[in-house]
């Protein structure tokens, strides 16, 4: 019996990266069938045409505009659900799965279980980027376990990274798609919190390994885009799930401190707009970014 797994990869002006991610999915074997769905987020740089030619055998979809990570994935998820998906694999376009990773994730997943792989730095695979994730309710944060020792053990965790996770398709039918208000960043944490509330478990499986070119798709971890959406969306998430007031104070204080310490850093200047837009209730894509 084959298990219908649909892998969703969102592209935005980075067809070469996306092609590498697609090629890595060809390393799977065993009794699983991975159907790859590439969603182009209105790249307007010829990506869509190139991907249609280079990704033979994949479904290459046009999102019709830049819908962000959440909206782009939702286009692919809808396609997968319409075509009989049993499991859906979310994979960043700046990531690559190692041989056997899909099978290991499938073995760890279940009807009410989301599976998360060990994610290492592509530039240095000996370094762990995600070895499980835990939530700090006091600090209002979602933290990766990057210690090599803890990353070696399979276990239940608080959240999976949107860089790569395998979800039963039933989750999306039961609990809805990704929250498009977030556009980019924190949508994976929100999805996991929603899943846990609905009775799903999240299991970390170190035998499944993914190599990640960290933040290559957003210009780096301290790019203006990362700083703005990371600030605004984290506060949005805290509001939605009613974290303690201390969590809000911690997040705002630490970001304002960074703004004061690095006043001439172009990226840190986006801390304040992130806070202001959260207070104003602005969601979705930030115009001009």
Residues 129 and 11 in one domain: yes
- For residue 92, the model assigns a pLDDT of 97
Which pLDDT score is estimated for 143?
92
Same domain, 228 and 123: no
Does a structural domain hold residue 120? yes
Tokens describing residue 82: 């319409």
Tokens of 84: 């009989």
Q: Is 28 inside a domain boundary?
A: yes
| Whether residue 28 is found in the same domain as residue 145 | yes
Q: Residue 216's pLDDT is what?
A: 64
pTM exceeds 0.75? yes
Is there a domain that residue 197 lies in?
Answer: yes
Q: Is residue 219 part of a domain?
A: no
**What is the predicted pLDDT for the residue at 282?**
96
Cβ count within 10 A of residue 128: 23
Sequence-separated (6 or more) residues with CB below 8 Å from residue 199: 112
Q: Per-residue pLDDT for 11 more than 60?
A: yes
pLDDT of 135 over the 80 cut: yes
| pLDDT for 218 beyond 70 | no
pLDDT > 90 in the chain, percent: 71
Is 204 in the same domain as 228? no
| 18 and 155 inside one domain | yes
Q: What is the CA radius of gyration of the chain?
A: 18
- Strands 3-11, 87-91: pairing is parallel
Last residue of a domain, one of 170, 185, 212: 212
The CATH number covering residue 38 comes to: 3.90.550.60
Q: Are residues 123 and 257 both part of a single domain?
A: no
Is there a single domain that holds both residue 151 and residue 181? yes
State the DSSP H helix or E strand holding residue 52, giving kind and residue range, or none if neither: helix 47-54
What confidence tens digit (pLDDT) does each residue in 32-68 have? 579 999 999 999 999 999 999 999 889 999 999 999 9
Under the banding of pLDDT at 50, 70 and 90, the label for residue 105 is: very high
Q: Is the pLDDT of residue 76 over 90?
A: yes
Alpha carbon distance 6, 83 (integer Å): 9
Total number of domains in the chain: 2
User: What average pLDDT score do residues 142-164 get?
Assistant: 94
- Average predicted confidence (pLDDT) for the chain: 91
List, in sequence order, every beta strand (DSSP E) within 141-230.
Answer: 141-144, 155-156, 164-168, 201-212
Whether the predicted pLDDT of 1 surpasses 60 = no
Q: Is 162 domain-assigned?
A: yes
Please report the pLDDT score of residue 32 as a whole number: 59
Q: Which pLDDT value is given to residue 14? A: 94
Last residue of a domain, one of 177, 212, 247: 212
Same-domain status, 165 and 230: no
Q: Are residues 194 and 114 in the same domain?
A: yes
Answer yes or no: do 84 and 206 share one domain.
Answer: yes
Residue 259 reports pLDDT greater than 70: yes
Question: Would you say residue 275 lies in a domain?
Answer: yes
User: Within this chain, do residues 173 and 235 fall inside the same structural domain, yes or no?
Assistant: no
Query: Lowest-pLDDT range, 27-41, 166-180, 240-254?
Result: 27-41
Q: Which of 165, 190, 212 is the last residue of a domain?
A: 212
Helix (H/G/I), strand (E/B), else coil: 41: coil
Q: Name the phi and psi angles at 97, rounded to 5.
A: -85, 140
Phi, psi of 94 (to 5 degrees): -100, 30
Give SS3 for 223.
coil
Give residue 269's domain range. 224-279
Residue 285 forms part of a structural domain: no
In a domain, 78, yes or no: yes
Are residue 124 and residue 238 in the same domain, yes or no?
Answer: no
């Amino acid at each position: 019996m084959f298990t219908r797994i649909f892998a969703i990869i969102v592209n935005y002006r980075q067809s070469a990266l996306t092609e590498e991610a697609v090629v890595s999915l060809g390393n799977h074997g065993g009794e699983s069938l991975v159907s790859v769905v590439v969603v182009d987020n209105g790249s307007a740089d010829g990506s869509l045409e190139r991907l249609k030619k280079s990704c033979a055998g994949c479904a290459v979809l046009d999102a019709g505009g830049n819908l962000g990570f959440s909206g782009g994935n939702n286009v692919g998820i809808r396609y997968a659900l319409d075509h009989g998906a049993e499991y859906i694999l979310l994979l960043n376009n700046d990531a690559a799965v190692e041989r056997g990773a899909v099978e290991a994730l499938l073995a760890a997943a279940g009807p009410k279980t989301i599976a998360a792989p060990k994610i290492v730095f592509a530039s240095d695979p000996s370094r762990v980027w995600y070895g499980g994730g835990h939530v700090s309710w006091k600090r209002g944060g979602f933290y990766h376990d990057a210690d090599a020792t803890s990353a070696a053990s399979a276990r239940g965790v608080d959240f999976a990274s949107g860089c790569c996770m395998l979800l039963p398709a039933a989750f999306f039918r039961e609990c809805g798609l990704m929250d498009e208000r977030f556009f980019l960043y924190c949508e994976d944490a929100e999805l996991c919190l929603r899943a846990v509330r609905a009775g799903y478990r999240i299991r970390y499986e170190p035998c499944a390994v993914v190599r990640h070119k960290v933040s290559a798709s957003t210009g780096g971890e301290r790019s203006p885009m990362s700083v703005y959406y990371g600030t605004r969306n984290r506060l949005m998430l805290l509001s939605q799930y009613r974290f303690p007031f201390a969590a809000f104070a911690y997040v705002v204080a630490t970001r304002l401190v960074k703004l004061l310490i690095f006043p001439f850093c172009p990226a840190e200047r986006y801390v304040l707009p992130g806070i202001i837009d959260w207070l104003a209730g602005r969601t979705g894509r930030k115009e001009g970014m």
